[in-house]
Chains A and B, each alone.
Chain A
Amino acid sequence: MKVKDLSGNYGFEAITLPDGDREIDGVYIGDLLSWVMGRAKSGNAWITIMSNVNILAVASLADTSCIILAEDVTLEDDVIKTAIDKEINILKTSMDIYSAAVTLSSVI
C-alpha cells in the first residue's frame, strides 16, 4: 500500500505528504529515537508518540516510508515545515499505538 492511500482512510490522516507514492513495507514501533534509528527498516511505517524535530532526522536516516503519530500527538509548525522541506511523510491518528498497528496489519 502507498502512503497516500492510507491518508484519509482507516483512521489515519496526513499532516505532510510530500512523497505520497512511497510504498509502505512493514511497520516499526518505538519512541527511543536512537534505538529506532538503528532498527527501523527502509520502507517501514514508523509509529511513535514523539514529536521533537529529531524524529525527522531519524525517519530520514532509517528511510522509513512515513511517520505515524499516534494518540493525537501534534507537531509544532516548524517541525511540519522541516518535514515538507526534507520530504518526510507524516500521518496522524487518534488511535493508540497498539490499535494503529493492528489496523495497519490488516490493511497494508
Chain B
Amino acid sequence: MKELSLNILDITENSVKAGATLTEISLCENEDTMVLTITDNGSGMTEEILKGVADPFYTTRTTRKVGLGIPLLKLACEQTGGSLEISSKHIEKFPDNHGTKVSATFYKNHIDCVPLGDVVETVKTLIQGHPDTDFKFSHKTENGEVALDTRELRQMLEDVPLNTYEVIKWIEEYLREQYLEIQKA
C-alpha cells in the first residue's frame, strides 16, 4: 500500500467481515514511533488460523488462494524497523469476550516508512460502507487528539442512518477540523 490509511481500511474490513459490532482504530504517535492498533469484537480466530495469518498464501477467502492484508501491513511496519503483533480470541472458546487485536509499530523517521495518507477518508469510507456497525477512531499525537465514536453519534442522531449524505459530510468536516486544530498547536 502506498499509504498506511489503505492498510487500515483493508484490516478494518476484515473486522467487519468477522462480524464485529464495534471496531476501534487507534493511532498513537510520539516523537519516534506510531502505533496502529485495530481492535474488534468480531468472531476472532482459532489458534491455527492465527498462526497462518501472516503467511500470504493463507487466507479465509475461497475465491483465491492468497491473502495479503496482514502480510502487507507486517511488511510496511517491519521495513521501518517496527513489528506487528496479533492476538485473537475465538468465539467458540471465548463466547463472551471474543475478538481480534492487531497492533503495528512504525518508526516514523525511517526512510522506508510510508505516509499515513488520508485517514479521514478511510474512516468516512468505513462508516459509509457499514452504517450499522460501530467504529471508534482516535489519533493521539503530541499536539493533541483527533477522535470520533459512532456510538455517540448514533445517540445524538437517534434514527437517522449514519450513511446519510449530511451525516457523512458532517463526520468528514468534524474530523478535518480536529486535524486542523492539532496542526495549529
Contacts and interface: CB of A to CB of B under 8 A. Distances in A.
A104 B64 CA distance: 31
Interface string A36-61: 01000000000000001110111011
A53 B68 contact: no
Interface string B62-89: 0011101001100100000000000000
Contact of B57 (A32, A35, A37, A86): A86
Interface in B79-136: none
Given A34-B1, A53-B56, A56-B57, A61 B75 contact: no
A54 B75 contact: yes
B75 A33 contact: yes
Interface residues of A, number: 15
Contacts of B72: 33-34, 54
Nearest to B114: A32
A82 B173 CA distance: 47
B184 interface: no
Nearest to A58: B68
A34 B68 contact: yes
Given A32-B2, A57-B56, A86-B57, A52 B75 contact: yes
Contacts of A60: 57, 65-66
Interface residues of B, number: 13
Summarize B's interface: helix, strand, loop or mixed.
loop
Nearest to B72: A34
A56 B6 CA distance: 21
B59 to A, nearest CB: 9
B66 A61 contact: yes
Nearest to B6: A34
B66 A57 contact: yes
A108 B81 CA distance: 39
A82 B65 CA distance: 14
A53 B66 CA distance: 12
Interface in A67-96: 82, 86
Given A33-B72, A33-B75, A52-B75, A57 B57 contact: yes
8 contacts: A33-B68, A53-B56, A54-B71, A54-B75, A56-B57, A57-B71, A61-B66, A86-B57
Interface of A: 32-35, 37, 52-54, 56-58, 60-61, 82, 86
Interface of B: 1-2, 6, 55-57, 64-66, 68, 71-72, 75
Given A33-B72, A60-B57, A61-B64, 8 more contacts: A34-B68, A53-B56, A54-B56, A56-B57, A57-B66, A57-B68, A57-B71, A61-B66
